[in-house]
Amino acid sequence: MEESNNSSEKGFLLLGFADEPQLERILFVIILLFYILNIMGNTAIIFVSCLATKLHTPMYFFLSNLSCVDICFTTSVAPQLLVTMSKKEKNMSYGGCVAQLYVAMGLGSSECILLAVMAYDRYAAVCRPLQYTTIMHPQLCASLASVAWFSGLITSLIQCSLTVQLPLCGHRKLDHIFCEVPVLIKLACVDTTFNEVELFVASVIFLIVPVSLILVSYGFITKAVLRIKSAVGRQKAFGTCSSHLIVVIIFYGTIIFMYLQPPKSGSKKQGKFVSLFYTIVTPVLNPIIYTLRNKDVKGALRTLVMRNVLVSENK
């Protein structure tokens, strides 16, 4: 019993990249830069989507939700990781680890559903343009966003509650960049078959099903784009779709690698870099790919900046 309680009393050692100090210093700067860009880019999208009346559309409503998820998701991982990387002692409290486990799992799951919802919105806009406003009415948009948020909350409560009940028998070393369900399952000193099966089922629901829906949506979108007679129009549409698909492939591909690989396979170092992609890199790509390349957003940003400048000068 004393050994089993050791982890909860003393917390964990979050090793990260401690075995390679030079790499750790380089990654510290990169992660800090990406985190700042994430906060700035996603905050800008939220403000512009709220303040610019011409962006009060379903697409930007979902993008605002995605930006909010991305800010919170990365914030649940990056600050703690940066603090740990800057210290010689890699301690993390048990309570801090459990809190990070619940929050990161919930937000990551919400993003998986939200990206699928956004793909459906794009399908409705491109393939059903005349019925778009009827299909994507405000009540449906609010309901879909709520489903994304609450589904993340529910899966987090179920998976994380099952994970924290596993006895660790005094094991304190987490050879990873943050507290994550697959890592803690591997750390357990009892049979974890039930937890692995439950995690697999949840991963299929939150990863495989949304990816399948996204690919089907973009299949219909591609079919509709090919009917466009203008070569410039087709090129522009394909450019947008390919950019969106790159984000989807990076985000879902890295998480699928982490959550659906056999428990004993894959190197720990490889898992750390994979986790960096879906917690740090992808949330920065989302504002760049989805909106900052968009003329409407850039125009709205320019208008808001000019308005603020004029107000300042009048004062």
Q: Which amino acid is at 143?
A: S
Instruction: Establish if 4 belongs to a structural domain.
Output: no
Q: How confident is the model at residue 4 (pLDDT cuts 50, 70, 90)?
A: very low
* Structural domain count of the chain: 1
Q: What is the pLDDT of residues 140-176, one digit of tens each?
A: 999 999 999 999 999 999 999 999 998 887 777 888 8
Instruction: Establish if 126 belongs to a structural domain.
Output: yes
pTM of the model: 0.88
Give the domain CATH number at 103.
Answer: 1.20.1070.10
Q: Tell me the residue range of the domain where 36 lies.
A: 11-296
Instruction: Establish if 173 belongs to a structural domain.
Output: yes
Instruction: Establish if 308 belongs to a structural domain.
Output: no
Instruction: Establish if 113 belongs to a structural domain.
Output: yes
Instruction: Establish if 136 belongs to a structural domain.
Output: yes
CB neighbourhood size of 163 (10 A): 25
CA-only gyration radius of the chain, Å: 21
Instruction: Establish if 306 belongs to a structural domain.
Output: no
Which residues of the chain form beta strands (DSSP E)?
12-14, 91-92, 173-174
Q: How far is CA 298 from CA 53, 62, 68, 217, 241, in A?
A: 14, 18, 19, 27, 19
Instruction: Establish if 210 belongs to a structural domain.
Output: yes
Sheet with strand 173-174: strands edge to edge: 91-92, 12-14, 173-174
Q: What is the pLDDT of residues 10-57, one digit of tens each?
A: 688 888 888 888 999 999 999 999 999 999 989 988 988 888 888 888
Q: Which residues of 171-198 are buried (b: 16+ CB within 10 A; e: fewer)?
A: bbebbbbbbbbbbbbbbbeeebeebeeb
